[in-house]
Amino acid sequence: MEGHNHHHIMSVNVDTGIDRYPQWSVQETKEFLMIRAELDQAFTETKRNKLLWELISNKMKEKGYNRSAEQCKCKWKNLATRYKGYQTIEPSMRQQFPFYHELEAIFADRMQRMMWNEAEASGSQKRAVELYSDEDNDNEESEGEKGVTRKKKRVKSSANPGNMNSLREMLVDFMKQQMQMEVQWREAFEAREHERRVMEIEWRQRMEALESERLMIDRRWREREEQRRMREEARAEKRDALVTALLNKLRREDI
């Protein structure tokens, strides 16, 4: 009960702290998630992660963002919580969370590492952590406390053979999610391809119609030019005939 209350109090403090921090921009958050993704394996392999958050803070400063280790840690917890919430809604609604795909990639890579570790460890359960484990809690245990913790983990692992089944269920859910994403991506790609083909056909038809119209206009222009030329020639012939007749008349009068 005390642990539960303590966790609740920490959550409230985190939310309150975020309100005091300057708002994160979209680009800043994307840069943060790229750095966090690079260090995700280190976070899952150690509980002494205070230095990792300091490292992230320094990397953010190198990119021009002044964020403390505590701010980075709070931001990650907030994003992970939102991501878990959006997993329960329709896939089409997940686009409302602009960082869904970045977090999905991080947790997908984490799941793959868990699969590889499980395969290498055979039946060992010493690293049977949950996908959304609370790896972000700073844990500065003494060596004696670490020994007790490792002993408790071994006892819990041997006394809980259901961990393997839980991991299998997680892997099955993960594979289903990957297949669903693949189907959605393929459907979206086919829809875009169909739209592109329709637009290409419409564009070609418009070009053909414009070309036909241009040829018709050109033909009409040529016909008008031909008629004008014929009229000019007829007028010239009449003019020449008139001049010739006048000259002949003048010659006769002179004679």
**Radius of gyration over every alpha carbon of the chain, rounded to an integer in angstroms:** 40
**Residue 9 domain flag:** yes
Residue 15 structural domain: 2-160
Question: What one-letter code names the amino acid at 112?
Answer: Q
Show the low-confidence residues of the chain (pLDDT under 70). Answer: 1-20, 119-167, 255
How many domains is the chain built from?
A: 1
Question: In CATH, what number is assigned to the domain containing residue 155?
Answer: 1.10.10.60
**Residue 113 domain flag:** yes
**Residue 227 domain flag:** no
Residues 137, 74: Cα–Cα separation, whole Å? 11
74 close to 22: Cβ distance less than 8 angstroms: no
**Residue 97 domain flag:** yes
40 close to 55: Cβ distance less than 8 angstroms: no
**Residue 110 domain flag:** yes
pLDDT digits (tens, 9 = 90+) for 117-163: 776 665 444 444 455 554 545 544 444 445 545 544 554 444 455 55
pLDDT of residue 133: 54
72 close to 56: Cβ distance less than 8 angstroms: yes
pLDDT digits (tens, 9 = 90+) for 188-201: 899 999 999 999 99
pLDDT of residue 33: 94
Mapping DSSP onto H, E and C, the string for 53-109 reads HHHHHHHHHHCCCCCCHHHHHHHHHHHHHHHHHHCCCCHHHHHHCCCHHHHHHHHHH
